[in-house]
Structure 1
């Protein structure tokens, strides 16, 4: 599972849980009535760190800082994690349907591993995201489509996730399964080996097709230290499937993406 898909799935654990938030720290007071009113703005910022495979199928891990942003206006416009700017075209207390401009940091460089020499580089970049989610009680189901719009040959992926969340005191626990489908362009870029690449790298030729890229399990724990501060640790445990699992590029079938952050809510 790529960092972009993992971040989206893990963000779902809290952002879409119907009861995940208590009284908003953005509350203001109506001057005429003295009653508390919620601001349409919800802003959370803080530092985060990510641990993710260096490239899909790699045994090596990369660790780097990641801004933990969670900004929204009137539950309509938002910026959250890898979703740089998004809009909920349709939304209600239990559902969201919309689009976002997301940035995928997933890359693969020939310099990442001697085995990759001759395969060429794969660059990260912006992707168009189309999404929908629905929450019933403690359960949230979601689907998100990501389309490469930067010409990096990363194709199209579709991630489907199901999350159950439970608040316990100041804690919020979330867990659930999911899977990722990828089109032929994506699987060919990250897991295929053409004749030219085979001659340059020494790896055997390998053809791929569209199909299930991985199955995974999401888990997240969030703790509210105070009205404004919270911390979270989340992980996505994934297993590559089909063409992705059997590729000569793949060294490790199991993937782990981990995010940890501290967030201040204004």
Structure 2
């Protein structure tokens, strides 16, 4: 019993860490310009907080989750982050590029404390395994205020899970010595495998779950908007809060497993910089 409890606790903590990568990624670009310039200096940030998110993309129900994260940067471009994985980033004037190895969490066909994404509404659909992924991004800053970016999330393992591509724009709309507020708008395009994995229903899944069979094509599957507020308490402590909404589109929005095409979310963390 103790062994089972330990395993469940570990899985829950891992899921909480991965949650930040999946959820805060949408707001990260919006406040990226507000980060202190630590070029040449190593830094470590850890944070904890809570979020209120859908059980899965298109879910009717939502759940409160604990959020834990950490990120280390060596000041020369190398980073280890629970949000972005392990990788390198470089900036040349107004242009930036980053590449990282990370993990895309899976999904269960029942609500479980051992997994962040899962719902009883998916019973019979089977579990989706997680994937090791490559995260790639290029960006440019216009007039020092508007950031344009494009990114790819490419499955390296369980490749039938497919690939997705994000395009977005973010802008810092308010800034003082203690507060920064940023907006972010993005759209996601996914290949056929990705949309089939997360929004499709095979003949076997249809028989097991009762949902009608459905085979989505590649295409735009969602559009997102978020506002992020970063409040600096002192040189060590800060608080970040993000509110966002995702609108499912195209074949993804028409999936029989989608209960709500519009998915709001809220997440807030208290952060400490070493």
Q: TM-score normalised to the size of structure 1? A: 0.84
Q: Which aligned segments of 4 or more residues in structure 1 are displaced greater than 6 angstroms?
A: none
Equivalence for 1:103? 103
Deviation at 1:96, TM superposition (A): 1.8
Max Rg structure: 1
Equivalence for 1:30? none
**Partner of residue 208 from structure 1, selected from 205, 216, 220:** 216
Deviations 1:225-249 (A, max 9, x none): 1121110101221100011111111
Summarize the Cα distance change of 1:212–1:231 in structure 2 as closer, same or farther, 3 Å threshold: same
Q: Does 1:239 align with 2:256?
A: no
Secondary structure class of the residue paired with 1:109: coil
Once the two structures are superposed, the pairs formed by residues 85-234 of structure 1 within 5 Å of their partners are 85-88=86-89, 90-110=90-110, 112-136=118-142, 137-151=144-158, 153-165=160-172, 166-234=174-242
Unpaired runs of 5+ residues, structure 2, are 1-18, 112-117
Summarize the Cα distance change of 1:48–1:92 in structure 2 as closer, same or farther, 3 Å threshold: farther
Summarize the Cα distance change of 1:106–1:134 in structure 2 as closer, same or farther, 3 Å threshold: farther
RMSD of aligned alpha carbons: 2.2
Q: TM-score normalised to the size of structure 2? A: 0.82
Q: Distance in 2 between matches of 1:23 and 1:246?
A: 44
Q: Does 1:59 align with 2:60?
A: yes
Structure ranking higher in helix proportion = 2
Unpaired runs of 5+ residues, structure 1, are 25-37
Secondary structure class of the residue paired with 1:197: helix
Q: Distance in 1 between matches of 2:120 and 2:182?
A: 39
Deviations 1:82-115 (A, max 9, x none): 2121112x42243321211122235232454444
Summarize the Cα distance change of 1:150–1:58 in structure 2 as closer, same or farther, 3 Å threshold: same
